[in-house]
Each structure stands twice: as C-alpha cells, then as structure tokens.
Structure 1
Amino acid sequence: MEGNQKIEMLERRFEREKLARKEAERILEQKALELYQANNNLLKLNESLEAQIKKRTEDLNSSRIRYKTLVESANEIVFEVDKNFQLLYVNPAAYHLLLYSEDEISTITFLELVAPTHKEIVKEYIVNCLKNKITQGYIEFPVQKKNGEIIWLGENFQLDFILENDVLVFNGIKAMARDITDIYYAQLKLKLSEEKYRLIMENMELGFMEVDLEGKIVRVYDRLCKMTGYEESELVGKIANEVFLTEKYVSVLNQQDENRKKGEVGSYEVEMKRKDGSLFWVLISGGPVFDNKGEIIGSVGIHYDISNQKKIQHELAIAKELAEASQRAEQSFLANMSHEIRTPLNAIIGMSHLLFDTNPSPEQIEYLDIVKNSANFLHALISDVLDMAKIEAGKVEIKRSEFDIIGVLRTLHKTYELKSRVKGVKILLELDPDLNTLVIGDELILNQVLNNLLSNAEKFTDHGNITLSLKIGEKLDENIYILNFAVKDTGHGMEEAKAKLVFQKFKQIHEKNSIKTKGTGLGLAIVKELIELQGGNIYLETELNIGSTFFFNLPFEVTAKPASRETNSSLIEEFIDFEEKNILIAEDNPMNFKYLSTLLSKWRIKFKHAHDGREAIELLMSDTFDLVLMDIQMPYVDGYETTVFLRQTPGPNQHIPVVALTASAMIIEKNKAKDAGMDNVLTKPFTPDQLKRILDQYLNTNRKIKIEDQPMQTEYIDEKINQEIVDAYFGNDNNFKKIVFETFLEEIEYQIEEFKEFNSSENWGEIAKLGHKMKPSFAMVGLNNTEALLKSIESEIKANGINDQIKNRAKLFINNFPELLKLVKSEYNNLKN
C-alpha cells in the first residue's frame, strides 16, 4: 500500500515536472522569439541611425562650409586667439583692413595690434573680465595698421573657459570687430561740442525753470534760485507769474504762455521780483516742452540777468540824448554859419561875374580878379570846414555808379593844364593802357580827392612839371581791382619830419621866413578821410627842394563796357532861350535877388519877385509859373512852409518844380528840402553855369540828356549766391545748410509781404526794424548784396529819417525779391538732390 502511494507520488511528481518542463520550454521559446524580434528591430534601428549620422555629418560639413564662407567674406574682422593671445584664426577682412599678409599676421599676438596708447587699457579690461568670469563683452580701442595709420575698432568678444580639475580655466577668445573710425571721431566731435556748449552755458550763468500748462513751477535750477533768493522747495508748485512778476508784466507773460501752447518760441525782457522784494531785469528765452507723444506739456524758460546792461543802456540813452542835442546844436550852428556867410558870399561872387560882362577897364579887371579870388578862397575855406564836419558826423555816403575814370582824369588834366600854363608848369598824364572800360565807384569823391591833390601840387610848384598817373594794381575779386593813383610834382618838397604832419587837421607845412600858404589846413586831412572811407590808403614821398609824390589806391569794380574818350565837359549842353517861361523868385536878400534878376534878364527870362513866404503864396495862388526859385530862410513864412502849402493846396502851380536856394551845405538841410516837396537844391554861392543847368533841367523839355536820370544801383543786386559766404557759415555740413535754406523759404515770403505792407503805408520805422530782422537771413543764404541793401535802408532811416533814396532802395528790394527767391529755391533743390 505504501508502495503504491510512493508510486502515485512519483507519478504525480513526474507529471508536475513534465508540465513544468513544457512550460519552461514554452517560455524559452517565447523569449527566443522576442529576442529574435528585438534583434531584428535593433538591426533596423542601427541602419536608420547610421543614415541619420551620415546626413547630420553631411549637414554639419555644409554648415561649416557656409560658416567659413560667411566669415571669410564678411567686412568685419573675425578672429580667434588662444590663452596666450596668439592669433589662431583671422578672416581675410583683417588682411585688407590692417594691410598685413596671412603669414605676417599669424606671427603677431592680438595685443601687438593694439595701439601703444591703449595696450594696458585693453589688457586690464580683459583681465577684469577673467577675474569676474564675464564671458561676453564689448570694447572700443585703436589699432595700428602696418603702414602706421591708426584706426578705431569696436569689438564684440566671447571668452572661452574649460573645466580642469573642477576649475574653469581661460582657454582663449573668439571675437568680431568692425572699423568705427568715422563714428568714433564723429562722436568725439559731438562730445567736444557738447562739452563746449555746456561750459558756455555754465559760464553764461543762465537760470532755468520749467512750468506746466497752468504756469505752475515744475522744476527750478540752482542758478535761478540764486538769482531770486528762493530755495527750490519754496517755488515748486507755485504759479511763476504770481511769484516773480509785477502787475506791469503779467500780460506780457500771459501772451508768451499762449504762444508756448501753440508751439512757438520767443525772447523778451521783463522785470522780476526777488524774494526780498527788490527788482531786477532779465532776458527770457522760452520754448515749449513736449512729452514722448509729441504733446505740449509745459514750457521752459532760460533767464539771463541783464540788470547791468539795462543800467548801461539807460545811461547810454541819456548820453545819446545829450550827444544828439549837442550834434543838433552843432548842425544848427554850421547850417546858420554856412547860411550867414554864404548869403553875402553868393552876392559877391555873383556880382563879380556880372561885372566882368560890363567891359571893365584893365585896372578894374585886376580889382575884380582880387575880389573873385578872395571870394573863391573864402568859399573853399567854408566848404573844407563843412566837409570835415560831415565826415566826423558820419554823414558822407559813398555812392557807387558807372563812370568813365579815364575821362575824369583827362578832364582834370586839361583843366590844370590851362591853369598852370601861365606859370610855365607842364601837366603830364600817364594812364595804364590796359584800363579802357567803365568802372563802378564814387566819381564825385574821386574828383574831389584828385582836385585837392592837383591843386596842392599846383600851389607849391613854380617850375618843372606835375604828373597825374593811374595804374591797375592787385585783383581782389572777380571784377574788383585796386587802382593806384599818383600825383607827382617838382615843387618845394619838405623834410621827412614835417611830411608826417601833412594829413593832420589844421596843419600847414611851410618853411621859416616864408609866406604862410592860404588855406585851412584841412584839404589833405579831408583827402585822407575820404580815401579811407572807401577802403583805400594814401601816403607821401617827398624830398626838400626836389618835389613830392602823393600815392593813393582805391578799389573799383571794372566793367566790360568800353569807356568813352570824351571829357565831362561834353555833357554841358547849349543853353536854349526860355522867353516863354515864367519864374517866381522867392528871395528876401536884396543882393541875391539882384544877382538872380540880372542873370534872368540877361537870358531874357520873365520872372516875378516875392520878398517873403507870404508874398510867394499870394503870387502862386494868383498867377501861373513854370518854376520857383525858393530861398529857404525867409521872414514870416520860410521856404519849407511855403512849399508844403503849395503841394497841399490845389491851384495852378501845385505840381510845378521848386528849387531850394540855400546857403547851407549840410545834408540834413537838403533832406528837409526834399521832404517838404522841393525838387532840387541849389547851394549858394552858385555860378551862372550852375543856375543855367538847373533851368535847363526843369524848363527845357526837349533836352537830349536828363540830368535826373540815374542808372539803377547795381551794387545791391545779387545775381548769384555767394558760395564763399555760404561755405564760411556751414563748411561741409550739407544737412545744416539744407535746414537753414528750408527755414529761409518757409519764413521769408511772410516777411516780404509785411515789408510790402509797411512800404505801401510808408511805415518806415517798421521797415527799419524788419530790415534789421531780415538781413542775417539773406547773409546766411549767400545773398550778401541784399544784406547790404537792407542794412543801408535800416541805418539811413535811423540816422537821417526817410528820403527819396531810401524809398528807391525799398522799391529795388521789393522788385528784385522774386529773382532772389528763385536763386534760393534752386540752391535748396540742389541740396535736396
């Protein structure tokens, strides 16, 4: 029984083992299958990975090629250095920029390329980066090219570190640098400019203040606090106008605030209050403040203390008033003295002319010559004194017009040749053959200078000759030449020490025991002043008993118009009979009337006589005349008042010519005559020929030449923009130039309309102000002649008031403006393109 049980047990055990073995075989077979499948998958994955590696290797090679191509074709320098700063790689841009070959640059360290002045700076910068483990940065420094030239580089770099024994160790630098030389020097120039203007602002001691749109103080700077005695904390949040202004100036500031809200800037002067209540004057320049959206959020004011200037200005105004009063007294004295002396002198000279026509005896002729010469000397003496007075008062105006300078010299030569013939002195003329055209300058002053020098030479030369010469000198501009004149004589001469005194006023040079020469001693002093007024100079070379030579030079514009070889005397036309004409003589001096009436009777001209202004008005209202010869100073009603009445009262003679007769040679008297409505001025004493010319001008309607017709003044007309002046303002800064020209075009047309309105309403005070405002604008765009025109209008109005000359210049400016505008627009278009 027990055996069977053991067998059964063995059978069951065997069966279990059999089943277990089958299960193990099954699992083993399954795992083998899985392993097989895994091996197959692994093989496939391996094949895919090899393909990916191959592709990525190809892509990496392609990327390396692209990177190398980009680096080597880049304009910037790309380089790599090792931990000893030895260059491992440099792209071709470095060879081209630094002028080294590839072999040469491979032997140089990075720091050797840095300019000596910055080696330590660059080294310290890199060392600092290493200490602080800064891996990226930017630095600017100069490098020295192979040819020694210094350029500036801006370098972006990356520091490489490697891990050795758990420590980061510097392994080299990779960097890219570009040439910033132009940028560096532009920034340096800007920095210097900013520094300069910062110092200027500090030295000018300007006080700044910002306010919001309601006028509340937002910020105030130290300088303004010191100026007013407040602390900043006392001012912020307060209304500026209430703190600083008196009632008198509130309206001024309110208007300026309104202007700021419109975006306008402005400058103005006001009186401000300090904390202690004292007042002081400031010049304020204000402008709007904008936020980042371009909206106006307030304004800023720059305050400059001008209290001292105001004090000086007040003192100058008082001094000016006193000086003007003194000048008026002097002018009044000179005018009265001139009139009182010239009035009887006119009669003396006039009567001597008439007496020569009465067939006098030889003895009488001798006496008449003495009278005539003495009167002429007295006339010259008065003229010299008045000329010097005009020069010292700044009343001499240089008038430029075309004239025949060779003809002027030939006329003078002929005149003095006739005068010196009695003495046996020869007058020689030497002219530069290359000067055969008209010139532009002041013919009248040149005549006066040469007449004075020739008269002086003729006075001191008893034998030999006097030579007048003219030669072309240095060329100053396109058509401006220096003309060199000389008046040489073989007269008395003088010692060198005395020669230094000849140009001083009231100095006469004569030898001891000799007869003192007639004259005032003003002639050569006047000559010197007149020459220097025109930009020339004069000097004397002389030797005692040998002779003297006066040399002087003047600038003239030489034209292309050929000169006529006729002398000025050819302009004197034959006098025509005026039997049908009727003249009114308004003259209270019996001698002067006698002179005038004798001449008019001799020329068969009808006339009537008024003893004063009242009689003149009665005759002018009741009779018809062709011309009035009007004395200025008459009893009851003077010549000015009579003429004003005539011009303003309808009648038969309202528009007839009126010629003033005055013994005053002062310009102010002549301007008053023109302003009163007179057509011309005849200064006493006058010769019969001078009177003839006046009559011929106004009574001979068939004249071939009209004396009053004057050529247009060309010196004030700009035909092109003066590039030299423009370059002086802007240099090579075309952007700045373009901004200025654009601003000119935006502003000028509005200003010219204002000018036209003031001209139409004859508001000459405003024209002077506007001319002052406009002239710098024309200067900055290279229209310097127009600037001079506006300057002359302004200065003449301020000095002498309004006259016909100013009216003509204003008209010239208005008429010429469209052409000026075309010039500026053309230049602006060139700048834009």
Structure 2
Amino acid sequence: MSKKSSPDLQKIIEKQEQEIQRLKESESKIREIVESLGYIVYEFDLKWNFVYANEVFLELIGYSKKDLQKKLYWEIIRKDYKDEIFNFYKFQISQKKQNSYYEFPIINKEEQEIWIGQNMELTLENDEVKSIKAVAKDITVQKKAERNELKGFVESAPAAIAMLDPELRYIAASEKWYDDYRLKKKNIINKSYFEIFPDLPTSWKNILQRGLQGAIESEDEEQIVSKDGTVTWIKWEIRPWFTINKEIGGIIIMTEDITIRKIQEEELRIAKEKAIKASEAKAEFLSIMSHEIRTPLNAIIGMSQLLIGESPQEDQMENLSVLKFSADNLLVLINDILDYSKIEAGKIALEEAPFSLKNLVTGIRQSLLLKTKEKNIQFKVSYDIDVPEMLVGDQVRLGQILTNLISNAIKFTNEGHVKLDVALQEEHDDSISIYFSVEDTGIGIHKDRLEHIFQSFSQAEADIVRKYGGTGLGLSIIKGLLELFNSRIEVESELGKGSKFYFTLKFKKCDESFTDTVIVNQFKFDENLKFDKMDLLLVEDNEVNQLIASKFLNKWNISVDFAENGEIALEKVKKKDYDLVLMDLHMPVMDGYQATAAIRGLNHNKYQQLPIIALSASASLSEKNKAFAMGMNDYVPKPFNPSDLYKKINKYTQKSAPVDNKKKMLDKDQNNLVNFVKLDELVKDNSQFLRELCDSYFKMLNKFKIDYKEALTKTDIKKFNEITHNIISTVKFFEINMLEKEISKAKKYVKNKNIKKEILNKSIKAVERICTSVEDVIRSKYQLAG
C-alpha cells in the first residue's frame, strides 16, 4: 500500500510546487504592473522589519535596499503619527482586516515630509498574520495643494486668523494676526502655539483640545489682562479644518480685537447715564416748579370755583369767570410742559381698562361745545354705529389726544365748522381698529410747514403765538402719545381752507358684561351729592389749601380735622379712627411719605386698612410711584377736580349717600339718551299733543319690551325682524342711540344659531332698562304723571 501511494504523493507535491511557482510568477507580474503605474509597494513583518520594497519606494525615501534592511518601519514614519499608525495596524491585525486605506506622512533620508495614501492587506499562514503588504501612492502634492488652498486663504484674510496642525503648530497666519499679537519680527511657522503664547490659562488649552476633537467654540467678548495690566477685549472663534478625506487636519483660530468698541460702548453707557441723570434732574426741576406753581394756582382755581358756586352778582360773575378761565389756561400750559417732559423721558405707560368710547366722545363734545358757540361755529360729531359700546384701552390718553386736536381746531377756526369723525376701520375676533379724524375750516397750514408742526415748541407760522397763544407743544405731545399706541398722526391741510388730522388706533374688545357700567358712568357728577357722616383727616401745611379743600369736603357732609405736618398727622391717627386721610406729600418736620410709612408701621390692622390718598401739586410719575411704594392707596393732583376727589373718596369709603333716581334720569338726558330738541320742535309747546304723543310712545316702548323678550327667548327670527323694523325709524328720529345700538348687536346674535342664552338674556335686560330709562327721562323732563 505504501509503495503504491508513494508515486501519487510525489505527484501531489510537485503539483503544489508548480502552483506556488505560478502564484509567485503571477504576484511578480502584478508587482511589475503596479510598479509600472508608479505605485509604491513594500512589505514588512510583525517585528517591523522590511521584507520587500520596490524601486519606486526606494527612490521616494532615498535609501538603498541595503540601507533599508538596517531600518525598522517605524523609523521612517513622522514622530507625531507613530502612536496613531501603531494603533491602526494593531486594530487591523486583531481584526484580520483586509484592504484598509490610510493616509499618513513619512520622512525621507533628507528629512523631508512625504504623504502617502496606502491600501494594505495581511499575509496569513495557518490563519496567523505573518506580514503586512502595502500598495501606496505619493499624495504629497495633493496634500500640499489641499492645505495650501486653506493656507493661502488664511494668509490673505483681512481678519486675524491662524491655522494650526494637529500638534497645534502654526501652518499659516494672516497679517492681521501678526499685527494684533505683535509677532511681526517672529518666525512662528512650525512652532507650537504654546511656545508663542506660554502663559495660556488651562481653560484656553482645553478649548483648543476640544477644537481638535471637532467642537466649534466661540465667545462674543472676552477680557484678557496681560502681565503689565493692559486690558484687551477680543471676540474669537475656534473650529476644526478638514482634509480632503474629511478628517480633522487641525484648527483655525479667528479673533477680533474689540477693545476700541468696548471703550466706545463704555463711553456711550457713561454718556447715557449722564443724559438720564440730566433728564431726571430736568424732570425733578419741572416737578418742583410745577409744585410751586400749582400751590398758589390751586388756591386761585379752587376759590374762584367756590365763589362762582355761591351765586355772585352779575359783574362779579364776569370777573370770576375771567379769573377761572385764566387760571385753567395756565394749568393747561403747565400740564403740557409736564406731559412733554414725561414723554421725552419715556415715563408714560398706557393703561388698559374698559371704557365707553361713545361716553368719552360725548364728554369731550360737551366740554368744548361752549367754545364753539362763543365763536359761532358748528361742532359736528360723526359716530359710526358699528363701533362697539365698550373697548379696552387708555381712555385718559385718548381723551387727551382728541381734546388737544379739537381744541386746536376750534382755536384756529373763525367760521364754518369743526368735525370729529369716529369710524370702524377693521374688526377681528378680539380686537378692533378705529379711525379718528378732526377736520376744520380754519386758517390751514402752508405745505412747507407741515413737516415742522409736530416738532417741540414749533408753530405753523411765526405770529401764531402772538395771535392765538399756546406753548407749541400740543401736536408734539399728540405725536408722542400716538407713538405709545403704536400709531402715527397724519395731516392734510391747505392754507386758508382748513386742516384735517387723522389716525387709527387698535383696541381690545370688551366683555359684554360691562354694558351696565357704561350706563352708570353716563351720569354727570353733581356737586350737591353728599356722603353719609364721615370723618376725614386733611394733612396740609398751606392754610389756603386747607380752606379750599374743607369748603368742598364740608359741602359733601364730611367732618374735617387738620394736621400741618406728618408728625401731627401720626399722633391724630393714633387718637381717632378716621375714615380716610388726604395726605400732602411735601411738608416740613415730617413729609407725607414718612408719615404714611409711619402709619403703616403701627402695630394694628386698622392702620394697614386706613385709606390714604396723596394730595400733591407735583404730577411726576416718579412721585406717584414713590407714594404708592410708601403705602398710599391713590393719588389726586392739585389743583384737584372736585369730581375726581369725590369719586376717589367714595371708592375707598363707599359712603356716598343715595341720589334721587329721577335725578339720574335727567343726567342721562344730558348725555343724549333722548334728543329733546327734536321732541320740543315737534310739540311746539302744545301740552295736549305732547301728552298724546308720549302716551303713544310709552305704549309702543312697553309693547316692544314684551315682544323683544318673547322673540329672543324663543329665538324667533321672523318676529324679531318685524318688531325691530317697526320701531327703528322712531328710535332713529329721537336719536335713542343706546337702543339702536342694542338692536344692531342683537341682529348679529340672532343670526348665530349657537348663541348662548346668557347673551340673549343680557340683551333683553339691556333693552328693558333702556326703554324704562327713556320713559322716566321724558316724564321727568315734562313732569308727566306716571
């Protein structure tokens, strides 16, 4: 058997040797082909000895085969890459990976850097790695081009930029970098960043390392203090730069010296603080001056108002009217200057509270109607019925804007008319835009002066002040207030033909539940109103002011005690339970702020609940805020408006005595609940016709109330349309605007099938109240029996 198998085994061995020889020849041919294409071919064993190296490789590194046999593979790799290459090969061997590609630098005999990109495979024997074969390409030119492109950008950049390699050695830097860091005479290329800047903090070193790991770090402003104490501010960014293979090749550092900007910002901040202090000083000066002027003015206005109310003789009445008019005019001028100062200082904030625009317009019309009658000009008001009854906004500032515009129009109009137009412009679910315009047929404004009229202390013509008076602040204040509303005023005018000022304001819509408030607020203030018995402490050092205030307070059935300063007031509050304290702010010994703080500091709950209202001739916002901060409940400026003072006292005491209901109805008459002018013209003193007309009218209103309730309760649209159609012409004839408005709103309700019953019930109650009020007003007016 063995003899027979021996020739067969020999044949197998010979065949294997032939196959090995064929493979070697094939490998040799492949190597020849690879070498002819200019590829580098080499092989080394696991002890890092070279096994083979082709001529391309030997020529590239400058060693002979004999020289190369004396070298280890590690000795030709750039030092900073040795650990990285070792880990790479270690991983390939452990995983027995084939055809892995890698790029790295080697150093030739002349100490020059050469970059190669190689594919490698493992030589295995019995599944054991014996050696590593590599086929590579010289990519030095490509690498240099890649880096040089970025390097060229860095060197030519107008900003301070530096390019570093993975070892944080300089590759390139811009001229600005050299300038900013005083490196002009230093050769920094290939030198370590830490060698150039040896005092870098650890935090900055950590940032550089994070950049090498791929992070992008930046800071808009950072303070750097040098050893000599010099402070520099820089803005910087650090980001990695990438090779063509999307590997991190190092970092780019970009910095900007912002020291000059920071100095300018600091100078601007200081200048701003100085400007604010100057503005505050001016405001404080105006506040003090207004206090000094208002104190005697308070006496003049208050005393003239008291004397006018005491039925003076006809010649005395004329003199008192002139006195009060002059004092009121002086007060307007003072308020204009203070308002302008507050707007300029940015210390006016708009309030948001429910108010009736219609009531506001009506009040303005009534307050200015006398002026138009005196000048024999018409005062027209056009009010869009689609404008909601209630709005949310600042009615005080809106009233100030409209009053100023209309007063100006009246002042500069000698014949013709002044017209206020209020119209719905745009409506949304929760907001509404309203258009306002004030038009007159007055002297007009030259087109060349239109752009100047809104400037402070500016008038349309040089002789305006001489002819018409005024501060020249009115339009400037209006412009400033409208800017707070995010609006602007527009003007159209022609010299000799009149002017038109117009603007649009956006308001929030108000909940329907405020309708009752509207009707209550329509009642005019009656100086004959009284309080139930009340004890009040007036803290005031000016005897004239004491006299004037006490006159009004006594008329309202209020018992008044006096204190000349805060110290006396504190003792009196301890000894007697007052319903309210009126506290002047500026007094000797102890001022109003100190007195209020002392009262609030007393150890009893009643002193915390005691209403304290500031009463001061100063009207600055800072003074009001300080008063509230000290614990005061409210603020009334001097000279006080009796109506405002009465309301504030009632707000905190709720002791207002009941008022006759018929008197309220008559007050509604004054707010145009019914147009009695048309009714008077119709009846022409025919009492019989008046009674018949009113009886018919009352029956119609009572029937309408019943039918209206039934139609809305059943949501009977057909009946609703019939009854409202039948009454609307009469409603319009007598200008019962509130009823017309309610009917108009209800028309929108009935179209909505999903309308809530609560809303319909509110409308029913509103109509019942209005109809009842109309009847009461007419009966009171003409003394008709109920």
TM-score by length of 1: 0.51
* Matched position secondary structure for 2:501: strand
Q: Is 2:615 the counterpart of 1:661?
A: yes
Distance 1:210 1:590 in 2: 84
**Where in structure 2 are there 5+ consecutive unaligned residues?**
1-148, 243-249, 659-786
Q: Is 2:233 the counterpart of 1:281?
A: yes
Distance 2:637 2:511 in 1: 34
Corresponding residue for 2:182? 229
Q: Is 2:542 the counterpart of 1:589?
A: yes
Q: Is 2:503 the counterpart of 1:549?
A: no
Post-superposition offset of 1:436: 3.8
> In structure 1, what residue type is equivalent to 2:302?
G
Structure 1 residues 306 and 233: CA distance shift in structure 2, 3 A:
same
Which of 303, 309, 316 pairs up with 2:268? 316
Number of aligned residues? 494
1:280-325 Cα offsets, whole Å, 9 max, x none, are 21235679999xxxxxxx9997643210111102211321232122
Q: Is 2:648 the counterpart of 1:698?
A: no
Distance 2:584 2:458 in 1: 36
Distance 1:202 1:659 in 2: 72
Post-superposition offset of 1:493: 4.1
> In structure 2, what residue type is equivalent to 1:677?
G
1:316-362 Cα offsets, whole Å, 9 max, x none, are 13212321221122111111111111111111111112212333211
Post-superposition offset of 1:375: 0.5
Post-superposition offset of 1:634: 1.0
Post-superposition offset of 1:668: 1.6
Corresponding residue for 1:626? 579
Distance 1:202 1:574 in 2: 84
Indicate if the aligned counterparts of 2:531 and 2:656 stay in contact, CA closer than 8 A: no
* Matched position secondary structure for 1:681: strand
Distance 1:623 1:408 in 2: 41
Distance 2:180 2:382 in 1: 71
1:398-418 Cα offsets, whole Å, 9 max, x none, are 344554334432333343335
> In structure 2, what residue type is equivalent to 1:384?
D
Corresponding residue for 2:334? 382
What is the correspondence of 1:734-749 to structure 2 with a 5 Å cutoff? none
1:428-461 Cα offsets, whole Å, 9 max, x none, are 2213344345445443222111111211222233
Corresponding residue for 1:676? 630
> In structure 2, what residue type is equivalent to 1:686?
F
Indicate if the aligned counterparts of 1:541 and 1:549 stay in contact, CA closer than 8 A: yes
* Matched position secondary structure for 2:636: strand
* Matched position secondary structure for 1:584: strand
Which of 539, 542, 554 pairs up with 1:601? 554
Corresponding residue for 1:347? 299
RMSD: 4.7
Which of 647, 651, 659 pairs up with 2:600? 647
What is the correspondence of 1:392-407 to structure 2 with a 5 Å cutoff? 392-407=344-359
What is the correspondence of 1:90-489 to structure 2 with a 5 Å cutoff? 205=159, 207=161, 222=174, 226-230=179-183, 232=188, 236=192, 238=194, 243-244=199-200, 267=219, 269-272=221-224, 278-284=230-236, 303-436=255-388, 438-473=390-425, 483-489=434-440
Indicate if the aligned counterparts of 1:480 and 1:555 stay in contact, CA closer than 8 A: no
Distance 1:519 1:458 in 2: 13
What is the correspondence of 1:547-586 to structure 2 with a 5 Å cutoff? 547-557=497-507, 559=509, 569-570=521-522, 577-586=530-539
Structure 1 residues 581 and 236: CA distance shift in structure 2, 3 A:
farther
Which of 548, 570, 578 pairs up with 1:617? 570
Post-superposition offset of 1:697: 0.9
Distance 2:156 2:610 in 1: 67
TM-score by length of 2: 0.54
Deviates most, 435-444 or 202-211: 202-211
1:526-577 Cα offsets, whole Å, 9 max, x none, are 2233334432222032342xx4232312231464867969578516677874
* Matched position secondary structure for 1:516: helix
Structure 1 residues 285 and 426: CA distance shift in structure 2, 3 A:
same
Distance 2:202 2:621 in 1: 44
Distance 1:356 1:327 in 2: 41
Structure 1 residues 202 and 701: CA distance shift in structure 2, 3 A:
farther
Structure 1 residues 208 and 671: CA distance shift in structure 2, 3 A:
farther
Distance 1:568 1:423 in 2: 33
Indicate if the aligned counterparts of 2:597 and 2:630 stay in contact, CA closer than 8 A: yes
Structure 1 residues 383 and 239: CA distance shift in structure 2, 3 A:
farther
> In structure 1, what residue type is equivalent to 2:639?
P
* Matched position secondary structure for 1:344: helix
Distance 1:522 1:507 in 2: 7
Deviates most, 566-575 or 488-497: 566-575
Corresponding residue for 1:537? 489
Indicate if the aligned counterparts of 1:480 and 1:558 stay in contact, CA closer than 8 A: yes
Deviates most, 318-327 or 483-492: 483-492
Structure 1 residues 488 and 567: CA distance shift in structure 2, 3 A:
farther
Post-superposition offset of 1:606: 2.4
Structure 1 residues 645 and 560: CA distance shift in structure 2, 3 A:
closer
Indicate if the aligned counterparts of 1:217 and 1:239 stay in contact, CA closer than 8 A: no
Distance 1:454 1:200 in 2: 67
Structure 1 residues 238 and 592: CA distance shift in structure 2, 3 A:
same
Post-superposition offset of 1:386: 1.1
Post-superposition offset of 1:239: 8.9
Indicate if the aligned counterparts of 1:411 and 1:567 stay in contact, CA closer than 8 A: no
Structure 1 residues 256 and 408: CA distance shift in structure 2, 3 A:
farther
Percent of aligned pairs with the same amino acid: 31
Indicate if the aligned counterparts of 1:212 and 1:218 stay in contact, CA closer than 8 A: no
Indicate if the aligned counterparts of 1:411 and 1:569 stay in contact, CA closer than 8 A: no
Indicate if the aligned counterparts of 2:164 and 2:172 stay in contact, CA closer than 8 A: yes
Indicate if the aligned counterparts of 2:599 and 2:607 stay in contact, CA closer than 8 A: yes
Post-superposition offset of 1:685: 1.2
Corresponding residue for 1:688? 642
Distance 1:688 1:514 in 2: 32
Distance 1:286 1:676 in 2: 54
> In structure 2, what residue type is equivalent to 1:430?
S
Distance 2:564 2:209 in 1: 64
Q: Is 2:590 the counterpart of 1:637?
A: yes
> In structure 2, what residue type is equivalent to 1:390?
K
Indicate if the aligned counterparts of 1:256 and 1:266 stay in contact, CA closer than 8 A: no
1:672-707 Cα offsets, whole Å, 9 max, x none, are 222222221111111211110110111117899xxx
Post-superposition offset of 1:520: 1.4
Structure 1 residues 532 and 680: CA distance shift in structure 2, 3 A:
same
Corresponding residue for 2:470? 519
Distance 1:456 1:577 in 2: 37
Corresponding residue for 1:46? none
Deviates most, 608-617 or 679-688: 608-617
Structure 1 residues 504 and 435: CA distance shift in structure 2, 3 A:
same
Indicate if the aligned counterparts of 1:470 and 1:486 stay in contact, CA closer than 8 A: yes
